[in-house]
Structure 1
């Protein structure tokens, strides 16, 4: 990729609008309109009038953290989302949506070795779709160590269900941040943050050098020797809705019955095998 795609430019323009702080009266109209049109449930958050920009409303934090299982063997949802697909990998292939497969090795990019990518062959995958109405922050699903992070610049196609049905390899074309993690039971898994149209920014709190939807056009690898995070830790947010893909190695997770359902951050979605 040697120049920014038109979807990047559109997202940057929308991001400027979303970050602008209007007068309290105008901002109130903007916030009320967004909450009403998208059907946001604000019961877990501060009043809509307290957010000084549309982007502040997108990236809102919970008033109080959710309660979740402290059991080491339980794996929680990292976000509020819709599970568009989940299940078993066919070798290295996962479902983007029913009937459309993509290659996980390609999704993970070229900064991981073949050996690192092959650990997930015949493992499990979960696709979390965050719509514009959802809580946009993401959390750590289990106690873990982050081994590597890779920022892969790309496009910013919409990732809603209708777009997933129309565009093959959508996750692979879009900009993403890939985290290689090791859980406390010694198993490895990947968390892939996939950008989408409008704003296109993905914040990663432990790595401020990652600047998504920027002029940086080449993949960048970050490696860590002692980066440990706890279940439930808030480690960033999408500025607008997007997707998280979790890909776990074989014999790591036993998934709950979550396919085609809404899940909440903190909900147990799998258990260690």
Structure 2
């Protein structure tokens, strides 16, 4: 284990994340403009895509980090049977779920039961498919619907807040099943699907379009919310949530139904609403 990875076990994850949460919301103009400028230059952020390209117009750094894109910046196929990408970033892993186990990195995996915090919900994905997408600081940080669906429930699962950068993913066992996360369960035309928003070191704040700020507060126990009967339906390609700072999205698909494009490979760059697979005949009816 490298010193950098060992340090991750020792750091006060939640305390550091709370500090960053407040620091990134300071509205003092010199401070927030310095942060925005530094991140933009270091990570080569494409401000030409932003609905607001002027850094002076953002109230604080987090407003910049969760910036909207120009209309038309992420076009979507008119074919209603196309599964679309939920986030900008890079593919960490993608493929089949074997006996309820999800591949993390070479020699490492974790279970769908652990990830979802619910053995019953995990049954649908035991032999399904998954894709894990890593969002870097340069990426657009809003998460969109891969297909149309009605919100069934969410589960806020407490945990550590390890980094989700590639080196940490390769080194820390069951990382995504250990980090604090929000599991969003949907029902679509072909059955259930789950979108999991995984927190990360310093950047563990998550919001949704239906509940606003979901994390923090950080959880001390599993917190489930039932949305059945509330008719919260989101269409394919619509925004569903955002990371107030970056992290990872994991999409779980059932054994029968939508299929991921087998050409998706680790480290491949992906963008919101790009074609990512097929939903099947009549999926959007």
Pair in the same fold by TM > 0.5: yes
Q: 1:106 to 1:252 in 2, by over 3 A?
A: same
Could you tell me which runs of 5 or more consecutive residues in structure 1 were left unpaired when the two chains were aligned.
none
Q: Hey, what's the Cα distance between the residues in 1 that align with 2:166 and 2:71?
A: 31
State yes or no: 1:78 paired with 2:78.
no
State yes or no: 1:217 paired with 2:225.
no
Residue 128 of structure 1 and its aligned partner are, at CA, apart by: 0.7
Q: Which of residues 19, 23, 45 in structure 1 aligns to 2:25?
A: 19
What corresponds to 1:55 in structure 2? 62
Q: Residues 63-74 of structure 1: matches in 2 within 5 Å? A: 63-65=70-72, 66-74=74-82
Q: Is the 8 A contact 2:39 2:137 kept in 1?
A: no
Q: Which of residues 185, 195, 201 in structure 2 aligns to 1:197?
A: 201
TM-score by length of 2: 0.87
Residue 26 of structure 1 and its aligned partner are, at CA, apart by: 4.1
Q: 1:95 to 1:50 in 2, by over 3 A?
A: same
Query: In the comparison of the two structures, how many residue pairs are matched?
Result: 263
Q: Which of residues 7, 17, 31 in structure 1 aligns to 2:13?
A: 7
Q: Hey, what's the Cα distance between the residues in 2 that align with 1:270 and 1:99?
A: 27
Q: Residues 182-193 of structure 1: matches in 2 within 5 Å? A: 182-184=187-189, 186-193=190-197
Q: Which of residues 117, 124, 129 in structure 2 aligns to 1:119?
A: 124
What corresponds to 1:137 in structure 2? 142
Q: Hey, what's the Cα distance between the residues in 2 that align with 1:139 and 1:214?
A: 23
Residue 215 of structure 1 and its aligned partner are, at CA, apart by: 5.0
Residue 28 of structure 1 and its aligned partner are, at CA, apart by: 2.7
Q: Which of residues 94, 108, 118 in structure 2 aligns to 1:100?
A: 108
TM-score by length of 1: 0.91
Counterpart of 1:19 in 2: which secondary structure?
coil
State yes or no: 1:87 paired with 2:90.
no
Q: CA RMSD in A?
A: 1.6
